[in-house]
Amino acid sequence: MERVGVFVCHCGSNIGSVVDCAKVAEELRNYPNVVHSVDYKYMCSEPGQNLIKEAVKEHNLNRVVVCSCSPRMHENTFRACVAQAGLNPYMFEMANIREHCSWVHAGHNEEATAKAIDLAKMAVAKVCKNKELKKGHSPVTKRALVVGGGIAGIQAALDIANNGYQVDILERTPSIGGKMAQIDKTFPTIDCSACILTPRMVEASSHPNIKLITFAELEKVEGYVGNFDVTIRSKARSVDMSKCTGCGTCMTKCPGKADDEFNMNLQKRPAIYTPFPQAIPNKPVIDRESCLKFKSRKDGKDVCGICAKVCPAGAIDYEQEDEIFVEHYGAIVMATGYDQFDHSVYGEYGYGKYPDVISGLHFERLVNASGPTMGHIVRPSDHKEPKTVVMVKCVGSRDPEHGKSYCSRTCCMYSAKQATLIRDHCPDTKVYIFYMDVRTPGKGYDEFYNRTREEYGVEYIRGRVSKIYQDGEQLIVKGEDSLLGRPVEILADMVILADAMIPQNDAAKMAQIVGIGYDNDGWFTEAHAKLGPVETHTAGIFLAGACQGPKDIPDTVAQAGAAAVKVCGLLSKDQLETDPCTSEIDPALCAGCGHCVGVCPYKAISLETIEERKAGKTISRQVAKVNASLCQGCGACTVTCRSSAANLNHFTNAQILAEVDALCQTIL
Amino acid sequence: MEYAYYPGCSLDSTGIEFNLSTKAVAKAFGIQLVEIPDWNCCGASAAHSTSHWLGLSLPARNLAIAEAAGLDVAIPCAACYARSKRAEVEVCKSEETRAKIEEIIGRPYKGESKARALLDIFHRDLGVYTDKNALKKPLAGLKVVTYYGCLMVRPVDTGFDDPEDPISLDEIMTALGAEVVPWGFKTECCGASLTACRPEVGFPMTEKILDAAKKSGADCIVTACPMCMANLDMRQDQIGKAKNVHYDLPVYYFTELLGVALNMNNKELGIPRHFVPAEALVNKIGQAKTTEGGEA
């Protein structure tokens, strides 16, 4: 016999000022199966919870409905309360009469009260069909994977490792270091980027708990929180890592040439290379696209082989192949970073045609002592020192027409930093910065910006650049000074465009591989913008750094630390509780059509063959089966299933229909 | 190929060479241009700054007449094109706009008759630049800068070419055998009517374009807009004199140069009508190689 208690919460004035809570309680008192119904100011408060516990005892309730806020807010609170009262926590339902009612129907009190009554009746109808459910348990693999070896990945790995857990860093390029390794100086303190990064890189590579897997790609992620099976493709380096001593002879003798990506293609590098001198591991790889030997093999020849001849350790292995292996992890941190927007979509800035119109990252390499110009600021076209430099901010940012609608957050500061570097290196060079707004909300940032203007004499012009064109050896930059309300024209030697931060070009594919969400732009989606900034909607997968959205180094390092704490919290458990609200498939009803297999976003459903007796014969047929550990309870299979064989525990077809019936009775 | 033809006001007056050369060249290529009967002013500059609906309705009426004949409209003038295209785009975008405009002009216009810039027609429909046989007198040795002006390719939803770096005129000129000299002023504003009503603003705009064209080393400027032509050609002497510079930069409509390449008579094309003497330059073309050079 169902004995339901209904508890209507005022939530102070949040609900009470719109919904007549006493009336809701009154109406429900006469509803079938309801034996007790009251309202109270704050149901989630301790006295409120005690009210529920006492009512369960006094009225011998076996089911509880609380009409209050969203289950996201307080479902766990009330489930715990009901459990303390001696009931199964799943014999509880919540009717959301705040977000779904009072907040959206303010000023329509009567209708809102009627709606709240309907919502409460639906919850009562459902709770009467609820079954006692028990949480399951799953083991935890005490090892983490960090995807991406930039500063975010390195920091997250170090923090996890220092807490005593094993962690692997998976990096797709030949070395860890990421974008920070390409940057010359860091704002607002102008300390050398490599000087603060390389000690962390060394620490990561020599840490007993950290394993580096470089030049490797993430192929597949299977499993679930605590038990991920990750398939990794280790790309053929063509160099035997166990033999190579990193002496570098091969690189100096290699006759092959390729664009040097690390130096933004401002110079060439050999075909066998490490991306930069402080690379870790400091062992080269052969870029087979530009290697003379591999190129000649395509034409049926076999030439060169100089690197193998000069290698004193015999480490060159032309026959090496990609290796695919599976590793097991309990948690994954995504730290795949960002990419730089390509300004060549801007016709007004010359479609990328003018050699002396460069991006911010190009400039970092130009000004870096180990860069192609040994740190001398010169124009790419003729290697002359520029006497006038114009910088343009918000290139691709805050411009949905050409690029992205968001602010990239870092450009105001890196433009200011680069301007001061130019003034330091070339005191006679004039620097102009075109800006829309100056956004410097970080510690010491606004002070830096003011120094850039006041001490370094960098001229800020508020307005957009409408056109850049080549005029002989120089560039004419036309724009508007919107403070003076006047067009301006600057004869410049070099233009630096503050290109936006955008997601890696394969971010969406990566998100699909690991099974996490991403937004319209391709940034990975956090579980909650405010209260879950490093978690994702997939349990056990966390975010660090710019893969979640544009971020500077301080924010990236902070987020990496936060992700690491979440990972350690997870790995510290021996067992994980699993949610019983998972799907089940009734084999007697299942026709084996397999539609549910296709719609399941968690790959939790598979087809299996069963044998059964039918009309005196043994036949075998296919039916779908749910792996409860993988199932996240989304319900996609239940709405897809044509024969209603799929049923989501706690949200069964019978429960949902009971709610619909309850609602329709009022309407009819 | 048949088009309704909308000459607009300037092709009867300041831009008469554009009219003459367009008709001559179109005939040579077998394009039938049927002038829209009882056409009215497109309303450029004045109408749309006075009334949104007047600005749309004036060109819509011309389009409606062409639509009744089942023809798209060929429009040489950049301003006429921009205004007509705007009307077409707005009518296609919203049923409400269409109904209101139909009520104002008192006839149906469904947006089926399309406004087409003459430059676009020559570039896209005819593929003139690939037909080497038609060219009796390729423009070998002629160095040109292409000048589209600001209205032809902008804004993006009414323009037909790249709004920042258009190439249709470049491709036609290259196909005719001319050398297209790169410069940064393809789409800069010439000042339009400001040279008349606010010369202190308008003249420097035209002056910059002339300076840049001279600096580029080109022999002449090629355009597709009668307003641009008026400023660059008619004002050239005045601007040059003020700063003691002799530009000597003939300005041609692309249709004139098409005619020259087809070895047509200068007079037929309207070339002797220019303010900056324009005959000598085209007469030089092909003289070294062939005896049948242009008419004197």
User: Looking at the DSSP assignment, which residues form a beta bridge with residue A430?
Assistant: A388
| Distance of alpha carbon A211 from the chain centroid | 23
pLDDT of the residue at B131: 64
**pLDDT tops 80 at residue B292:** no
* Contact: A469, B184; criterion CB under 8 Å: yes
Using alpha carbons, list the distances in angstroms from residue A214 to A146, A274, B84.
Answer: 12, 12, 60
B162 interfaces chain A, CB cutoff of 8 Å: yes
Residue range B205-225: mean pLDDT, rounded = 96
* Contact: A469, B165; criterion CB under 8 Å: no
Could you tell me if B250 and B281 are in contact, meaning their C-beta atoms sit under 8 angstroms apart? Answer: yes
Could you tell me if A548 and A524 are in contact, meaning their C-beta atoms sit under 8 angstroms apart? Answer: yes
Which tokens go with A516? 């996490």
Q: Taking the CB of residue A16, how many other CB atoms lie within 10 A of it?
A: 17
> Three-state SS across A133-169?
CCCEEEECCCEEEEECCCHHHHHHHHHHHHCCCEEEE
Closest by CA to B175, choosing from B238, B216, B133, B210, is B133
d(CA A50, CA A495): 69
d(CA B30, CA B33): 9
Query: How many Cα neighbours within 13 Å face the side chain of B115?
Result: 36
Closest by CA to B294, choosing from B70, B153, B138, is B138
Tokens 């597949």 correspond to: A220
Closest by CA to A215, choosing from A289, A132, A280, A162, is A280
Q: Which residues of chain A have pLDDT under 70?
A: 666-668
pLDDT of the residue at A323: 97
* Contact: A470, B165; criterion CB under 8 Å: no
B3 interfaces chain A, CB cutoff of 8 Å: no
Q: Angle at which helices A193-206 and A151-162 pack, to 10 degrees?
A: 40
* Contact: B164, A347; criterion CB under 8 Å: yes
Give B58-91 pLDDT, tens digit per residue: 999 999 999 999 999 999 999 999 999 999 999 9
Q: Taking the CB of residue A1, how many other CB atoms lie within 10 A of it?
A: 6
* Contact: B184, A347; criterion CB under 8 Å: no
* Chain B, window 198-217: residues with a beta carbon less than 8 angstroms from a chain A beta carbon: 212, 215
CB < 8 Å to B165, chain A: 347, 351
Sign of the four-CA dihedral A639, A642, A644, A646? negative
pLDDT of the residue at A351: 87
B6 interfaces chain A, CB cutoff of 8 Å: no
* Contact: B184, A348; criterion CB under 8 Å: no
Domains of chain B (ranges, CATH numbers): 2-119 (1.20.1050.140), 131-284 (3.40.50.11810)
Closest in B164, B165, B184 to A470, CB measured: B184
**Torsion angle in degrees (nearest 10) through CA of A536, A186, A442, A457:** -150
Which tokens go with A424? 């330091």
Q: How far is A347 from chain B (nearest CA, A)?
A: 5
Mutate to test the interface with A, among B153, B165, B185, B208 (most CBs of A within 10 A): B165
CB < 8 Å to A469, chain B: 183-185
pLDDT of the residue at A579: 87
**pLDDT tops 70 at residue B244:** yes
CB < 8 Å to B185, chain A: 469
ipTM greater than 0.85: no
- For residue A139, whether the previous peptide bond is cis, meaning omega lies within 30 degrees of 0, is no
* Chain A, window 73-102: residues with a beta carbon less than 8 angstroms from a chain B beta carbon: none
**Which of the 8 DSSP states describes residue A535?**
B
A to B CB pairs, distance under 8 Å = 21
Q: Dump the DSSP string for B259-270.
A: HHHTT--HHHHT
| B258: helix, strand or coil | helix
pLDDT of the residue at B293: 44
* Contact: B162, A347; criterion CB under 8 Å: yes
Could you tell me if A529 and A339 are in contact, meaning their C-beta atoms sit under 8 angstroms apart? Answer: no
d(CA A587, CA A590): 5
Give B104-120 pLDDT, tens digit per residue: 999 999 999 999 999 99
Q: How confident is the model at residue B296 (pLDDT cuts 50, 70, 90)?
A: very low
Q: How far is B205 from chain A (nearest CA, A)?
A: 12
By DSSP bridging, strand A210-213 and strand A501-503 are unpaired
Could you tell me if A589 and A616 are in contact, meaning their C-beta atoms sit under 8 angstroms apart? Answer: no
B185 interfaces chain A, CB cutoff of 8 Å: yes
Q: How far is A346 from chain B (nearest CA, A)?
A: 8
Could you tell me if A610 and A621 are in contact, meaning their C-beta atoms sit under 8 angstroms apart? Answer: yes
Closest in B162, B163, B184 to A471, CB measured: B184
Q: How confident is the model at residue B127 (pLDDT cuts 50, 70, 90)?
A: low
A467 interfaces chain B, CB cutoff of 8 Å: yes
**Which of the 8 DSSP states describes residue A458?**
P
pLDDT of the residue at A490: 97
Closest by CA to A496, choosing from A360, A375, A399, is A360
Could you tell me if A593 and A353 are in contact, meaning their C-beta atoms sit under 8 angstroms apart? Answer: no
**pTM summary value:** 0.81
d(CA A65, CA A8): 8
Closest by CA to A363, choosing from A419, A432, A431, is A419
What amino acid is encoded at A73 in this protein? M
Could you tell me if A174 and A274 are in contact, meaning their C-beta atoms sit under 8 angstroms apart? Answer: yes
B292 interfaces chain A, CB cutoff of 8 Å: no
pLDDT of the residue at B289: 52
B184 interfaces chain A, CB cutoff of 8 Å: yes
By DSSP bridging, strand A268-269 and strand A258-259 are antiparallel
A470 interfaces chain B, CB cutoff of 8 Å: yes
**pLDDT tops 80 at residue B123:** yes
Q: How far is B153 from chain A (nearest CA, A)?
A: 13
CB < 8 Å to B167, chain A: none
Domains of chain A (ranges, CATH numbers): 4-127 (3.40.50), 143-235+322-337+504-571 (3.50.50.60), 249-310 (no CATH), 340-502 (3.50.50.60), 583-648 (3.30.70.3270)
Residue range B128-135: mean pLDDT, rounded = 65
Q: How confident is the model at residue B295 (pLDDT cuts 50, 70, 90)?
A: very low
* Contact: B164, A351; criterion CB under 8 Å: yes
d(CA A94, CA B248): 85
* Contact: B164, A469; criterion CB under 8 Å: no
d(CA A250, CA A239): 11
Tokens 């004419």 correspond to: A476
CA-based angle A118:A119:A124, to the nearest 5?
95
pLDDT of the residue at B130: 55
A486 interfaces chain B, CB cutoff of 8 Å: no
**Which of the 8 DSSP states describes residue B182?**
P
CB < 8 Å to A471, chain B: 184, 212, 215
> Three-state SS across A276-337?
CCCCECCCCEECCCCCHHHHHHHCCCCCCCHHHHHCCCCCECCCCCCEEEEEEECEEEECCC
Mutate to test the interface with B, among A465, A469, A473, A474 (most CBs of B within 10 A): A469
Query: How many Cα neighbours within 13 Å face the side chain of B51?
Result: 8
